[in-house]
Structure 1
Amino acid sequence: MKTLNVVHLSDTHLCAEGKLLHGTIDAWARLRAALHAAKHFTPDVVVVTGDIADRGAPVHERAAKLFAKFENELGCPIIAVPGNHDPQESVNEAFNTFRLSTGPHIANTVHEIDGLRIIGLDSGGYREARGWLDAPQLRWLSSLLTQPAPRGSLILMHHPPVEAMAAELSGRGLANPEDLALILSGSDVRGILCGHFHQAGVGQLKGTNVFMAPATSYNTNAYAPQEILNGPESSWFSLLQVDAQSIRNSPIPVRHGTRKNKNQIASKTTNATRARIPAHSRETSS
């Protein structure tokens, strides 16, 4: 079996037309740049783990059309689940048009990519920090997993079922991870893909790998005393390579704008180095 390339996007935080995220970030341009960058890795599937909108903005119809456009350009499905910024049922039939079946919520989907089963879960939590998997979803998932897939399964959800490393993000993941862990025990699930924390990370839920994607919109600054926005180049996604024996995961930076000359590149490198100085230092960068 060939290695499958899974491009993992998350937390696009798309705003209503004409508006910038936090007044400075063109989230639509960043999403398009990430999807264009995905072409370089010849993905077999692209997954989007929630917060498609920012604060419930009415963008989902437009987002679904953009995903359909890039499904044609990339030649692969784009699978999406909602996050806590997405109103209930906003990730609807316009998304996930390659689904094989649907669960108790419209965003519950099953796809199969060359023997790899990908299961979408809706962890809800609209306008709340924490998410929750309700009983109907858990029963549906348990029923699905009674039959293993040829390459195993991946789960998509927005809220990580593991605690964040950053204190500012503590208590913002999945509220009932033990319920999920009980169902996954002994199953063919090889990994859980999620977002929400705006930081790349890897964890384990009682032996099941958890891959947390960075955000295409913005990512948090690990050196800051509290959650703040990173600079204009802070747009990332993850690439997972799945074969019969292993899953390899790597965060990938998204390039923005046009090609820079050597002097501009050198200047950016210097600024990037200074930006890594801890926040408590007297020296700061603009």
Structure 2
Amino acid sequence: MGEKVIEINGLTKKYGNFTAVNQLNLTIEKGQVYGILGPNGSGKTTTLGMILDVINPTSGSYTWFETKPFENHRNNIGAILEQPIFYPDLSAYRNLEISCAIKKAPLERIDLVLERVGLLDRKNSKFSAYSLGMKQRLALASALLGDPDVLVLDEPTNGLDPQGINQMRELIKGIASEGKTIIISSHLLDEIQKTCTHVAILRKGTLLKAGEIGELIKTPTSFEINAISRDALLEGLKNCPFVLSHEERGDHILVVCETNTTGSQLNEYLASKQVYLSHLNKFKISLEEEFLNIVNN
């Protein structure tokens, strides 16, 4: 195992009879881009609020950098929780000056972080004149002022158009490439898959599954195939060593193979049995399908 950034043990939050987060156990290591994934109401924001010392847990604990208090590491953790809040009539630069005073960060960092998020040329524009995507990027700039080792981002692409989502995604990937640890909550399955190295899936406050993205979606590979002779094709599939199952679906046959099986392997095997494919189309389960399988079971 690598260096632990945060270890969460039995973290629970209850509001009366309602349990928002239930006995959450999670370990996040240095350099990981860790996605907290779940539908609305799954406890993502509550979890982030607790580990950022904004919400008091009902029970359980969390440990930053192997020492308990978040307060000891406040300057080493940059966060965007909920919607970014800035003074609307002040410029981006002036808003970040105020953030620097609060975070005790040097003013020299302002131009650096504005350039990092692509807003240096708009630093004198009022916050109220910014688009939603620019506001989100300014919030990210504010989180980066103290040059933290860890970023905690709550729904950073929420409400953005496709261009804004792509800009934020590339920013996060670029920051992660510098060795920073990033924790992201999102209900956008595609964004977690494209951005994160690891993911934890929550449903109604309960952890359903966690691990590396590649391992989480490590499922059989499926192919839709056909041949001129359907009987010969079915016969050829019977003893194929890497075919797990097959079934007829209309004009084609759906073949489920072992993980990482390629179309070339399947085609070459069948050709060795004198079965020549007229149709071959690969299917691979997506994170969304895996997510739905997990939350519905």
TM category, shorter:
0.3 to 0.5
More strand by share: 2
Q: TM-score, normalised by structure 2?
A: 0.31
TM-score (norm 1): 0.32
Q: If each structure's helix is expressed as a fraction of its own residues, which one has the higher value? A: 2
